[in-house]
């Protein structure tokens, strides 16, 4: 049952756009953007969307998906657009659309997509904080937000598995008996 007094925010209110050039120091041996660098850009951008939506500090709970669709070449630009696409009680799902651009030709392409979950925490005590619900406005936002409940159910199922899995993993040093 949804609390009728709970605040509702539009997806576009949390939108963040961040653009970077892919410099030679950012690439792997294939001369494309190193995946870890892109993950850092995504987490940074998405965390701003989550904070903007919740108006609180946030922590990354999980990087749910990151689908690499097209390599980001050296001297191209990488543009990360993020916005909140779903909200639980204290958690938020953020969608990231990663666009590449060949700066010489102007050709733009979808390079990757990602969903990340954040939890809002109160600044003073670090306790979880209730977040506003989300209302999509554009055709794209509506399409992405429609799948929130199914993605959330998948995350919860996966979380249960990973909690059980983590209980069987040892923390013993690999060089000791």
What tens digit of pLDDT does each residue of 51-72 get?
Answer: 999 999 999 999 999 999 999 9
Query: pTM of this prediction?
Result: 0.89
Residues 6+ apart with CB under 8 A from 10: 134, 135, 136, 137
* Of 94, 70, 73, 77, nearest in space to 15 by CA: 94
Give 77's strand partners. Answer: 21, 101
In the chain, the percentage of residues whose pLDDT exceeds 90 is 79
- Which domains are delineated in the chain? 8-168 (3.10.129.10)
Could you tell me the pLDDT band of residue 1, with boundaries at 50, 70 and 90? very low
Instruction: Write down the pLDDT at residue 2.
Output: 44
Taking residues 87-114, report their average pLDDT. Answer: 97
What one-character DSSP code corresponds to residue 90? S
How far apart (Å, rounded) are the C-alpha atoms in residues 151 and 61? 14
3-state class of 157 per DSSP?
helix
- Contact at 8 Å (CB) between 145 and 87? no
3-state class of 91 per DSSP?
strand
């Amino acid at each position: 049952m949804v609390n009728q007094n709970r605040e509702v925010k539009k997806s576009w209110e949390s939108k963040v756009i961040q653009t970077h050039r892919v410099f030679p120091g950012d690439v792997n041996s294939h001369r494309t953007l190193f995946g870890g660098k892109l993950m850092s850009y995504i987490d940074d951008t998405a965390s701003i969307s989550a904070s903007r939506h919740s108006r609180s500090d946030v922590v990354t709970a999980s990087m749910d998906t990151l689908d690499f669709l097209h390599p980001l070449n050296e001297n191209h630009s990488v543009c990360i657009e993020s916005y909140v696409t779903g909200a639980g009680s204290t958690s938020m799902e953020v969608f990231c659309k990663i666009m590449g651009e060949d700066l010489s030709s102007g050709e733009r392409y979808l390079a990757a997509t990602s969903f990340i979950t954040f939890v809002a925490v109160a600044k003073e005590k670090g306790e979880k904080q209730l977040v506003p619900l989300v209302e999509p406005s554009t055709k794209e936002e509506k399409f992405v937000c429609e799948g929130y409940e199914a993605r959330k159910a998948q995350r919860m199922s996966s979380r249960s598995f990973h909690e059980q899995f983590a209980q069987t993993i040892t923390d013993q040093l690999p060089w000791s008996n």
